[in-house]
């Protein structure tokens, strides 16, 4: 009897999902009411799901179906034709592609190894060929899609990219806060992700290394950790100076970003030795295929 109730509930849920699929496609303007009737007729004759029948009739694309399914499960992303994010943020623009899937695997690994007990993580490239900014932005989207309150802090005060990747425009940010001008800084929520926010780098200062080394940075970190579940710091490459080390020390852990073709093993060994001597954990590594 219990199994009958479970199966029956599942069938009712499936019927609700099918009805929701039709309503959402209508609401999104993907099909007309007349086309919905055509889909229902094909459904009745073939036993196909609503989305399958609509696709068979050539009325919608696979991307349209994925959008509705994502909405049904509260999974937020941006369709490719919608302006607002840099295409490099594949976790938002192409969440069902191969790159996004590999990034989800990376998210799972660092969640177990680090975020189970910590909140802050620095994402830093060994050299300037690899882009820590892109990895940081994508991981942030993935954590936000998971429902984690996520903050990206652009701590690359020399060559910031997060405001460009998320298309927020340059505005007050971390450099303002570190210089004691909190009124000029702002944390921006990244639409359409309800749980994703960005603190940009702010105006480029003449003394980025000194700013990042100020005691006030620790107080900022503590306030970020009280407000968010995951805080990702995008920092300059280790090869570009001491900025990365300051950010790594603040976070306590680092995700290294490597270039498959350009990063040398000797560089990685040197960085690893330096970080371990400083008591900074290497949480993992992202190897970029270029």
pLDDT in tens, 236-267: 999 988 999 999 999 999 999 999 888 999 99
Query: Average pLDDT, whole number, for the chain?
Result: 86
> Mean pLDDT across the stretch 45-72?
78
CATH 3.40.50.300 in the chain: give the residue spans: 90-288
CATH of span 90-288:
3.40.50.300
pLDDT tier at 5, thresholds 50, 70, 90? very low
Q: How far is 250 from 185, CA to CA, in rounded Å?
A: 20
Structure tokens at 138: 């994508």
Between CA 70 and CA 72, with CA 71 as vertex, the angle to 5 degrees is 90
Q: How far is 7 from 201, CA to CA, in rounded Å?
A: 53
pLDDT of residue 12: 40
pLDDT of residue 238: 95
Please list the residues that pair with 256 across neighbouring strands: 124, 285
pLDDT of residue 84: 76
Residue 79 pLDDT greater than 60, yes or no: no
């Amino acid at each position: 009897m219990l199994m009958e109730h479970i199966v029956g509930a599942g069938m009712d849920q499936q019927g609700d999902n099918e009805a929701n699929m039709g309503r959402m496609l209508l609401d999104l303007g993907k099909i007309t009411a007349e086309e919905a009737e055509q889909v229902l007729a094909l459904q009745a004759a073939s036993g196909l799901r609503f989305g399958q029948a609509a696709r068979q009739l050539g009325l919608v694309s696979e991307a349209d179906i994925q959008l509705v399914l994502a909405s049904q499960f509260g999974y937020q992303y941006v369709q490719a034709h919608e302006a607002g994010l840099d295409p490099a943020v594949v976790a938002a623009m192409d969440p069902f592609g191969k790159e996004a899937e590999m990034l989800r695997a990376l998210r799972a690994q660092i969640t177990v190894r680090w975020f189970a007990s910590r909140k802050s993580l620095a994402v830093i490239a060994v050299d300037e060929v690899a882009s820590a900014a892109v990895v940081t932005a994508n991981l942030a989207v993935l954590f936000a899609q998971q429902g984690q309150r996520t903050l990206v802090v652009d701590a690359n005060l020399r060559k910031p990219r997060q405001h460009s990747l998320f298309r927020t425009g340059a505005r007050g940010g971390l450099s303002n806060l570190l210089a004691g001008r909190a009124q000029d800084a702002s944390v921006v929520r990244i639409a359409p992700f309800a749980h994703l926010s960005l603190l940009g780098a702010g105006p480029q200062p003449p003394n980025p290394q000194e700013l990042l080394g100020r005691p006030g940075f620790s107080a900022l970190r503590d306030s970020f950790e009280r407000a968010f579940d995951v805080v990702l710091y995008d920092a300059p490459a280790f090869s570009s100076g001491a900025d990365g080390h300051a950010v790594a020390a603040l976070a306590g852990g680092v995700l290294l970003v490597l270039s498959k073709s350009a990063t040398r093993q000797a560089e990685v060994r040197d960085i690893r030795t330096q970080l371990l001597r400083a008591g900074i954990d290497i949480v993992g590594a992202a190897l970029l295929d270029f």
